[in-house]
Amino acid sequence: MAKTTDPRYFGDKAAAKQRRKLFEQIERLESEIRLAQETVTLQGSLLEQRRGRKLGLRRANMLRPLDRLRLKLASPEEAANEQLADRLPALKKRQRLAYRLLRQNLRRKEGLLDKAGRLKDGQQALSAAALKELEALETAHKLEQSSLYNSLLENAKARLLPQAERETGMSRYRQGVDDMEGRLKRMEARQLEKDTKSLAAFEKRQLEKVKRYNARLKDKQAKLRESESQAEHHLPEDVILRLDGLSMTFGGLKAVDNLSFDVKHGEIFGLIGPNGAGKTTVFNCITQFYKPTAGSILYRTREGNVLRLNNYEVHKIITKGIVRTFQNVEVIGELSILENLLIAAHPQYNSSLWQQIFNTRKVRQEEQVIRQRALQVLEYCGLSAIRDLPPVGQPYGVLKRIELARTLMAGANLIILDEPAAGLNDQETIELTRLIRRIQKDYDATIFLVEHNMGLVMDLCDNICAISFGKKLAYGTPGEIQNDQLVQDAYLGTSEAQLQEVTA
């Protein structure tokens, strides 16, 4: 919510305050509707998982007596190897612990450890006698594994059915398997019917909730449309962002000077210029890290509401669907990649403080829905395999993808990328370009980027604005920008007199 109200934006302060309150109420209702709808899908998935676990456990219990019969029918070697595969992991784990314990005791005995139990510097080699003792233990472990196999083989031979009984045993085994499959199918059908009824009842409750929310939403939207005519600022239907006379000064320095341009919905828009041209300052003004000295920043939300961003505090910008990345990768190294995405979704929680304290059903549903969203985004960005790993130590290209995944997790409508290809090699840049194009198409998102890689900009952007010393030099398609003389002078160099003439 804004600290102050711009009288030019709305007739009076009270009306402007009421309008912003309507915006927030509408956004909250739309978030509640989305949560209710996604909860139905999540509930169906949870019921399916629970049904699968129950059937799996039942199958395992029914297979035990059949497995004993199957082992009697198999060859002794096959039966012994199968049982060994089940027992060997636990045995090897116990043997590893015994080996480490003996090695630590030998190191302590020979004075190679400090008081904390760590190896002293330069004292890492055990004596020949100690190494021989460790080798003897390893030999004993191998003999223990061999002895286990021989024991299992002897037991398998003893349990082997006589040839005369094998045909009868095989018939019993097949009959048992058929009976088991039939019982499991009947059990699955009963459970599926039960889950279907449960899901239908749950869906009905959620739809009733959505219906109530929709009624309230229509009322708020009607009030908002009624107030639209009083607002002095409007945007064309195809424009998502408009900078109108934006200026930003730091003391006597004009970082941005009367800059104006439009960003259209669904396009990839590029902002280019030499170092120090004011590009990042423009981003900081849009996201309200800096409060502009003059000018307006108008933005259309995904729901169609037109906001003047100047009236909002920086922490409110992300709730409007505007998400940005930074020149330096900003990830939380102590958390996993999945947890980094979950933090990005924090503004999407609608539960109150008391609901969070008592961990109510609504809180648990929100957490489940948001976690499912995060898993889907990780899959989309090709990060599922490393979701539980920390981002520290990952390749730079992976870190860039994590940042993009975080923007999607935040529910981005306008994604602002500050030099996304910086530090990437050619292959990583190609992969990033493909991902940005996919995001634009699949998420119906508008991309606004600053980039010094002109090859990427010209290949990726639909429209480009070139600036120098905070002033607009040119606006147009990549071809028009490439052929613009002012842009060429700004990048290739020009005389001081010409530069003053250009920026005048």
Query: pLDDT at residue 502 above 60?
Result: no
- Cβ atoms of residues 297 and 246 within 8 Å: yes
C-alpha span between 414 and 435 (Å, rounded): 16
pLDDT in tens, 26-69: 888 988 898 899 999 999 999 999 999 999 999 999 988 898 88
C-alpha span between 350 and 364 (Å, rounded): 12
- Confidence (pLDDT) at 438: 93
Least confident of 89-93, 116-120, 333-337, 350-354: 116-120
Q: What is the DSSP letter of 261?
A: E
Residue whose token pair is 């840049």: 429
- Confidence (pLDDT) at 98: 95
Q: What are the residue ranges of CATH 3.40.50.300 in the chain?
A: 239-503
Secondary structure (3-state) at 92: helix
pLDDT in tens, 355-410: 888 988 888 888 999 999 999 999 999 999 999 999 988 988 899 999 999 999 98
- Cβ atoms of residues 439 and 380 within 8 Å: no
Domain boundaries 239-503, CATH class? alpha beta
Give ∠ CA 283-346-241 in degrees, rounded to 5.
Answer: 30
- Confidence (pLDDT) at 496: 47
C-alpha span between 237 and 235 (Å, rounded): 6
Q: What does the block give as tokens for 278?
A: 């004011």
- Radius of gyration in angstroms for the set of CA atoms belonging to the chain, rounded to a whole number: 33
- Confidence (pLDDT) at 139: 95
Region 299-328: mean pLDDT is 87
Query: pLDDT at residue 146 above 60?
Result: yes
Query: pLDDT at residue 4 above 50?
Result: no
Q: What does the block give as tokens for 38?
A: 């996604």
Q: How high does pLDDT run on average in the chain?
A: 87
pLDDT in tens, 227-254: 765 555 678 889 999 999 999 999 888 9
Query: 249 forms bridges with which residues in the sheet?
Result: 254
Secondary structure (3-state) at 417: strand
Q: What is the DSSP letter of 125?
A: P
- Confidence (pLDDT) at 412: 87
Query: pLDDT at residue 196 above 60?
Result: yes
DSSP 457-502: HHHH-SEEEEEETTEEEEEE-HHHHHT-HHHHHHHH---HHHHHHH
Query: pLDDT at residue 493 above 70?
Result: no
Query: pLDDT at residue 1 above 60?
Result: no
Among 246, 226, 276, which Cα is nearest to 469's? 276
- Cβ atoms of residues 267 and 462 within 8 Å: yes
Residues in Cβ contact with 50 at an 8 Å cutoff, skipping those fewer than 6 apart: none
- Cβ atoms of residues 411 and 355 within 8 Å: no
Region 305-329: mean pLDDT is 87
Q: What is the pTM of this model?
A: 0.70
Query: 244 forms bridges with which residues in the sheet?
Result: 296
